[in-house]
Chain A
Amino acid sequence: MSEFQPKIIVFLCNWCSYAGADLAGVSRYQYPTNIRTVRVMCSTRVSPDIVLELLKDGADGVMVSGCHPGDCHYINGNYYTQKRVELAQRLLKMTGLEPERMRLDWISASEGEKFAHVVQEFVTKLKELGPTPVKKDEKLVTRLQAAIDASRYFRLKVLTGKEINLTTKGNVYAETLKIESLEEIMAQAAEDEYRNSLILQLTHSKPCSVKELAKEIGEPTDKTLEHVVSLRAKNMLALDHIEGSTPKYKAILIGGA
């Protein structure tokens, strides 16, 4: 049996990292054949849902690479890259898939050697972790789908997009937030949105009770009840039927599945 060869998707920004990868070639730095690169104009283009989709689809690892902070061809695109990657990793952690399966690196156009080194390092790491468990774990796929939904959801996107202004310029009332408190809000929001999305995912195909949901999510029943109530208030979840004395809920699908 041959050694496990991880399949890695690498997003490279056109200006720094793609050029860095080219330089690795021009300089003939040899590295393993495991990576498949996708060129984007800026690393900021890679939204968390794209990364999560690929991990759900069976990539053993996903790497995003852009210009060094302060060097972004698009001024500060890579600042947002970092925020997006942090969010993706935060959500990954909640799904139970190793967050190390996604990594972010700053690689400049002159860092051919670093590119080869980073690839080698990531391949070694993924070989340690072994093949992605998604193919054998349907529940993990459901959780990843919930993470994708959460990352595409309005609240997390707004928080990621407005971070700089909220912490520096302030909101319309000129109130600025401390970066730490925003981090806290972000962490809470990610958790809430992920759980809401997971409830919707779980109740998608078959109605579930609060107790069943709480067990699946791994949190106290009263916490889950809060999410169920808030989802019902948003008209995203409906009471399907009552089994004995237990209400069972089902996600409301808008515009088909």
Chain B
Amino acid sequence: MTTSALPSPLPRVSLGALVERFGLLILVIAMIVLFSALPSSGPAFRSVLNVQTLVANQGVGLVVAIALLFPLAAGYFDFSVGAVASAACLVTAACTATFGLPLWLGITLALAFGVGVGAGLGWMVAYLEVNPFISTLGAATLLGGAIFAYTGGLQITSGIPRELTAIGSGRVGGVPTIALAAALIALVAWWLMSRTVFGRRLYAVGANPRATQLLGVDVRRIQFLSFVASGTVAALGGVLLLARQGAATSDSGMTMLFPALTAVLLGTIVIHVGRPSVPGTIIGLLFVAVLVSGLTLVGAPAWVGQVFNGAALLIAVAFARLARARGRAARR
């Protein structure tokens, strides 16, 4: 019909754009090189044990962060993920250690618990149109209270099945088993979010729910499912937490929420700016983990980690905002 040349499918990839898209990854690599080379931290940082610990310690955090991704892609914050993970950890421990149920049943019940909480929150947010900030924060507080009521502030330490703790501390070919488990969950989540129609709809709902509805999509169902996915993955995170710690704490799980939030939001400034993604979250998580580990080995005081988490969160949000504004300004 027209003879005009076809525009190229991708824009010319400039160095600047590349740095912008992968800047955080480059920074992570630079930090790894730096901390490995510094005389004060190098030997310890480079050691196999440190690398294994670093990776194993991020397993639970990664899964909890992934739980946050689904609702966030659909445009909602879910503040309940930490509490759901903590509660699922307790459910598994109570079922197996206290009531002597087999491990598979304990895990199944923990997952069912996660699905249930996710479905309840999803129903409230999608169908009753309750503000997700309030409902998820409310659920988190409620679960925290329930955990405290059940445990009375004490940990469940004895009777945790060996098979489970083996996952938390074992290794397969030198790689911590828990990291492999987390990687498997991440892979499935990545596939769901970027290689399925469901995933594309998730982002579409987050970007413009009304337009998505007019594409013939059941928007409420997508929103509902995003919370179900969140609850399920958070519960998996709880099972891994029990495997890693070998004990169920009476913690409300809020301490897990903010590192997860930081990782996810840092992840929105890589690859596709402004869009939460699994690869971005992994890079975000590594960024914080490497920096905090490196700084600790260099001898920085303990408060550095927390200060750094908060600063990274603010920088990530501001950067994503600016990048988005610039993308829009490209319009004449």
A binds B: no
**Chain A residues with a Cβ under 8 A of chain B:** none
